[in-house]
Amino acid sequence: MKSSAVVRMPVSGVLVGVVAALSLVGCSPKPAAEEPVRAVKLVTVGSSQATAVLEYSGEVRARIESRLGFRVAGKLVQRQVDVGQHVQPGQVLAQLDGNDYALAAQAAQAQVAAATTQRDLAAADFARYQALKDKNFISGAELDRRSATLKSAQAQLDQAKANASSQSNQSGYTRLLADVAGIVTAVDAEPGQVVSAGAPVVRIAQDGERDVVFAVPEDKRSLVRIGQAVQVRPWADGEALLQGKVREVAASADPVTRTYTVKVALAGGNVPPLGATVHVLPEGMGPAGLDVIKLPTAAVRELGGQSAVWVYDPQTKAVTSRKVTVATADGNDAVIAEGLTPGMQVVAAGVHVLSEGQQVTVYQDKYAPKPAAEQPTAPATAAIPAKADGKPAAAAQ
């Protein structure tokens, strides 16, 4: 009897086949997950009046502020005033070491004395020669030489007197005096410091008219003009309003901040103190009262360096991107200058998770109050008549 042959496969070959099959199963691509339909909040584009006004922060300063310094160089030995102190004309502000200038003044006086002696000697000599000339003992040329000597001695005396007067002034310049009445706003040198001639030592804000100084950006420079009315509100007293007018507008921008400095002259006597912070509201510079298109700032996103919004199409229930131009801000809203027309529906929240042409659903707030027309009404019930004894009659079958 013939036995049947049995085919035996090695165990290692079976394992290799199983592993290969499993690897092929693991490498097969997974089906892509469908993108979820997102719910978005919409806002309908419409025109409304802007309420924001341009407000700037300013500082109260003196109309004239002088930087006073010594007219001579020297070592500062004493400063008699401090910041915030009120000074009067002629009051001593600071003092230099004047020993060298005093010695120079004494030397100049000595030169005056010597020149006076030489002049007197030349005058006496000329008088003697004049008498001799009258008696014809000397020639006229000799008398002329004595006259020239006298004139030279007189010129040297005049020069010595002028030098003495200059040295006396130099000695007096070692005392720094206030020219006008005002308030010390800054001190730029301290005792012991060697200062040069003309270097600022004390700054004084003169008494009198006050200005409010603030800065405007370059795009608002053309809106500011001389004589423009300005309202000023002190920071410490938000209820008080001061009136002023633009007095000066800088012709060039500040090299650091690139803004233009504007000075406003305040009217009235109730002026805030020097250095006080105030709020400045120039008239005619804000969009208040104009009909504009406003959107929540959350609805605007950046796209390639420009502003854009998502516009909802109720027919296709999809969103498309539209570039817009933002003019300014009005409170928490963005004022749109170009790109939208009234009646459009714009996505107001979740703009950063959407894509072009994406299908969306309109978010419905279940807690929002429904209109009166959609409010459910209670079912009408027929009135049951009562019997004579006051008990209700049976309902009709």
pTM of the model: 0.55
127 DSSP assignment: H
| Domain-embedded: residue 193 | no
Domain termination site, one of 233, 260, 282: 282
Structure tokens at 321: 């991107």
**Angle, nearest 10°, between helix axes 99-134 and 140-172?**
160
Domain count, the chain: 3
Domain termination site, one of 171, 192, 223: 171
| Domain-embedded: residue 79 | no
**pLDDT at residue number 396:** 38
| Domain-embedded: residue 23 | no
**pLDDT at residue number 52:** 60
Q: How far is Cα 122 from Cα 151, in angstroms, rounded to an integer?
A: 8
Tell me: the pLDDT tens digits for 243-299? 899 999 999 999 999 999 999 998 776 788 888 899 998 887 765 556 678 888 888
| Domain-embedded: residue 121 | yes
**pLDDT at residue number 238:** 64
Q: Which amino acid is at 41?
A: K
Q: How far is Cα 236 from Cα 216, in angstroms, rounded to an integer?
A: 23
Residue with tokens 């010595």: 160
| Domain-embedded: residue 237 | yes
| Domain-embedded: residue 391 | no
| Domain-embedded: residue 102 | yes
**pLDDT at residue number 294:** 82
**pLDDT at residue number 286:** 60
| Domain-embedded: residue 47 | no
Low-confidence ranges of the chain (pLDDT < 70): 1-35, 49-53, 238-239, 269, 286-291, 366-397
What's the angle, vertex CA 261, arms to CA 182 and CA 238, rounded to 5? 70
Same domain, 308 and 274: no
Same domain, 103 and 167: yes
Range of the domain at 261: 208-282
Same domain, 276 and 326: no
SS3 273: coil
